[in-house]
Amino acid sequence: MKVLHVLDHSIPLQSGYTFRSRAILREQHALGWETVQLTGPKHNTGHAVPPSEEVDGIRFYRCTGKTGVLGKLPVLGQLSVIQVLTKRLIEVAAEERPDVIHAHSPALNGVAAIRAGRALGIPVVYEVRGFWEDAAVSHGTSSEGGLRYRLTRAMETWALKRADAVTCICEGIRADLVKRGISAEKITIVPNAVDAARFQPVGEPNADIVNRYALAGKKVIAFIGSFYAYEGLDLLVDAMPRLLAARPDVRLLMVGGGQVADELKSRVAQLGIQDKVIMTGRVPHEEVEAYYSVTDVLVYPRKSMRLTDLVTPLKPLEAMAQKSMFVASDVGGHRELVRDGVTGTLFRADDIEDLVRCLLRLLDEEHRWPAMRDAGRAFVEHERTWTTSVANLKPVYQRLTGEA
């Protein structure tokens, strides 16, 4: 079996998207399949890319064609990306002769893959990892129901109806696709997962970080990840004065950066809690584990919106694998992963009072932590490893190729 994967971007860039892609490739190699990888024109935008390069032992074909002036225009820019990617995809597929083309979100990749697949007589699988029109709304670059929003959604529906098979990452997305008229029998869920061997329970607190930020004897709540508006980090910062009133020993550790980093820094200053909130900025990936080691409770306060209600994130799964305690908002994406009070703690989304209540209760009831840690780890090991997840692709590919 040879599978040609079409990706928006890939390692060495670091994101939930690239980590999922890397995990899928690794597991398919373990199954004895051969994979070919092609990234689209938006990979590492603004930097020169070679026709192909090897990263972490994996060869990636790159899309070197230019979208030109049209690439910067609404709608026309998307069509230009599709045109450039289709041409490169046909070149790579003609050389590599894959059995299946597997395109991954966004819809631009799906449309290009279907055009190339039809031209070469190769079946196409399209994987929906999230709705990019909703992500654009959360980033402030589009409005829900606007022209760009509706065009992006229509483009994806076009690809979904014409792909030979469809996969998605969670039940929330599957239900939305069915409402669009996509047959439930055509859709296979390949859920987000973690490498349980890699994400081991965190060890002893890193002494250097404890000393650097004066965390000895403190209760550390933390968010470690990208600072997007939909993550609800403003709610977490605003909760700090109330938490400190009840627990003066609490410290907030925020590791990462992104869209709302400057706004969060300004809010911390307005509240006068600079000495209680630690914002490290982005740190090298290999150092992240050390910050997990000094954390007592992780917080994932995602705001309630279509994006967060339909899409499951990776962070709670990683926390469970590491036997980390965490509190998360009860958006749909979290509810699909977390059993409240068993594998984690859920609070009412966008409700600062309930966030404070749940955090204080969890900090006061450490006797519950061992059982919750064990339950979270067991859930990951039994249901959410990449080996289990990627195995769902086997019957999909076999059906399309007739290979036993």
Residue 210 has pLDDT above 80, yes or no: yes
Tokens coding 249: 């020993």
pLDDT band at 65 (very low <50, low <70, confident <90, very high): confident
Q: List, in order, residues 6 or more apart from 392 with CB less than 8 Å away.
A: 167, 188, 189, 190
CATH of the domain at 33: 3.40.50.2000
Please give the pLDDT value at position 196. 86
Task: Judge if 156 and 212 occupy the same domain.
Answer: no
Give the residue-averaged pLDDT of 17-44.
Answer: 94
Please give the pLDDT value at position 72. 57
Q: Which residues constitute the domain of residue 299?
A: 207-383
pLDDT band at 76 (very low <50, low <70, confident <90, very high): low
Give the residue-averaged pLDDT of 124-128.
Answer: 98
Task: Judge if 287 and 392 occupy the same domain.
Answer: no
124-128, 198-202, 225-229, 400-404: least confident range? 400-404
Give the residue-averaged pLDDT of 131-158.
Answer: 76
Give the residue-averaged pLDDT of 213-226.
Answer: 96
Task: Judge if 355 and 390 occupy the same domain.
Answer: no
Alpha helices, DSSP H only, in 69-191? 76-96, 107-120, 132-139, 147-162, 171-179
**In this structure, is residue 297 part of a structural domain?**
yes
Residue 167 has pLDDT above 80, yes or no: yes
Give the residue-averaged pLDDT of 123-143.
Answer: 79
CB 326 within 8 A of CB 345: yes
- Output the CA–CA distances (angstroms, integers) from residue 107 to 13, 86, 158, 291, in the order listed: 20, 13, 9, 36
pLDDT band at 71 (very low <50, low <70, confident <90, very high): low
pLDDT band at 75 (very low <50, low <70, confident <90, very high): low
Task: Judge if 166 and 39 occupy the same domain.
Answer: yes
132 vs 89, higher pLDDT: 89
Task: Judge if 243 and 331 occupy the same domain.
Answer: yes
Give percent of the chain with pLDDT exceeding 70.
95
Task: Judge if 337 and 267 occupy the same domain.
Answer: yes
Task: Judge if 219 and 166 occupy the same domain.
Answer: no
Task: Judge if 378 and 395 occupy the same domain.
Answer: no
Task: Judge if 128 and 188 occupy the same domain.
Answer: yes
Sheet containing 345-347: give its strands across.
277-281, 250-255, 219-224, 297-300, 325-329, 345-347
pTM above 0.75, yes or no: yes
22-36, 194-208, 295-309, 355-369: least confident range? 194-208
Task: Judge if 373 and 307 occupy the same domain.
Answer: yes
Q: What does the pLDDT look like over 315-328, one tens digit per residue?
A: 999 999 999 999 99
Q: Which amino acid is at 158?
A: W
Strand (E) or helix (H) holding 310? helix 306-310
Give the residue-averaged pLDDT of 283-289.
Answer: 88
pLDDT band at 46 (very low <50, low <70, confident <90, very high): confident
Task: Judge if 183 and 218 occupy the same domain.
Answer: no
**In this structure, is residue 200 part of a structural domain?**
no
Task: Judge if 105 and 212 occupy the same domain.
Answer: no
Three-class secondary structure of residue 249 per DSSP: coil
- When divided into structural domains, the chain yields a total of 2
Give the residue-averaged pLDDT of 387-399.
Answer: 96
Residue 143 has pLDDT above 90, yes or no: no
